[in-house]
Amino acid sequence: MARLLATETTQRSNRSGLVLDKQQSRARPLRSTRPSAAAQRCRRKFLHYFPGSFRDPIYLDWERRYKERAHERWCVDLDPRKLRALIRAGDYRGVAQRAVTIESRTNLLFSFEKMALRDAVRSSAGARLFADGLRDFLDRRRVLRHRFERWCETISQLPRRQTRVLTWPLVTVFGFIASPDLHLFLKPNVTRRAARAYDFDFEYASRPNWHTYQSLLTFAARVRRDLADLKPRDMIDLQSFIWVLGSDEYPD
């Protein structure tokens, strides 16, 4: 079984309370390390639904396991070595089909987004564009900002029938499944509601862009810091926490 990494690789806190963006070699100040009143309210809401926190059996059943299983399947079918081998062999459709199949077993994307994705990679040209872009996006040897911006450009160039494919869920879902130690999935409406509840200034723009994604990662870093005693393992736990805060499935 693949092991999910619980370390935070995009941002770390130093002793002065700065968040270090390792990819960008920059530091940005955070507020006091003490959770705000809004953060404490959000924590209480999460624990109301899941008293056992991130180890609660109901939490594992409702929110974590299906995402974890998708990651594990990705590690079997599309680990970096296998992904590169498929591309070297020219099996671009194999890459696209495996990625689409893994995602299809989750409820992360809406049905119309799943359909748009399948349409986008159905042709040989679309599958090749997707496969090459996916390989580059997941290549950790490159700067995260550059990888993300290039991935957004790749998604924007995929063939489109009716529904547009350049959306936040489609741009972020595969990074989240493949690398939940690093990448976060973004559902815009839910995340914006969660950020307001958390009193976090989420710098959102509807068109996928690095600035918004960086703000999302900063939000995740804030939540991870505030919930350190609850020991969130990875972005799956952080995304699930954000989902509970902003989804209609979990009323206040």
Contacts of 25 (CB under 8 A, 6+ apart): none
Average pLDDT over residues 172-200: 98
Q: What are phi and psi of 20, to 5 degrees?
A: -95, 125
Half-sphere exposure of 34 (CA within 13 A, CB side): 1
pLDDT band at residue 32 under the 50/70/90 scheme: low
- Domain presence at residue 213: no
Give which of 103, 117, 30 is closest to 73, Cα–Cα. Answer: 103
Q: Can you say whether residue 16 is alpha, beta or left, with left for phi > 0 and alpha for psi between -120 and 50 degrees?
A: alpha
Query: Does residue 82 lie in a domain region?
Result: yes
Is the confidence at residue 4, as pLDDT, over 60? Answer: no
Within 10 Å of residue 193's Cβ, how many Cβ atoms?
Answer: 17
What average pLDDT score do residues 217-234 get? Answer: 98
Per the domain annotation, does 86 fall within a domain?
A: yes
The pLDDT assigned to 1 comes to: 44
Total domains present in the chain: 1
Tens of pLDDT, residue by residue over 98-142, are: 999 999 999 999 999 999 999 999 999 999 999 999 999 999 999
Kindly tell me if the per-residue pLDDT of 13 is higher than 60: no
Q: Which domain holds residue 103?
A: 71-178
In a domain, residue 185? The reply is: no
Residue type, 107: N
Domain-located, residue 125: yes
Report the alpha-carbon distance of residue 176 to residue 169 in Å, rounded.
10
In a domain, 240, yes or no: no
Tell me, yes or no, whether 223 lies in a domain: no
Encode pLDDT of 148-176 as tens digits. Answer: 999 999 999 999 887 889 999 999 999 99
pLDDT of residue 163: 80
Residue 167 is assigned to a structural domain of this protein: yes
Q: What pLDDT does 26 receive?
A: 44
Q: How confident is the model at residue 5 (pLDDT cuts 50, 70, 90)?
A: very low
Average pLDDT of the residues in 229-250: 98
The SS3 call for residue 26 is strand
Contact criterion met (CB below 8 Å) for 99 and 86: no
Q: What is the pTM of this model?
A: 0.86
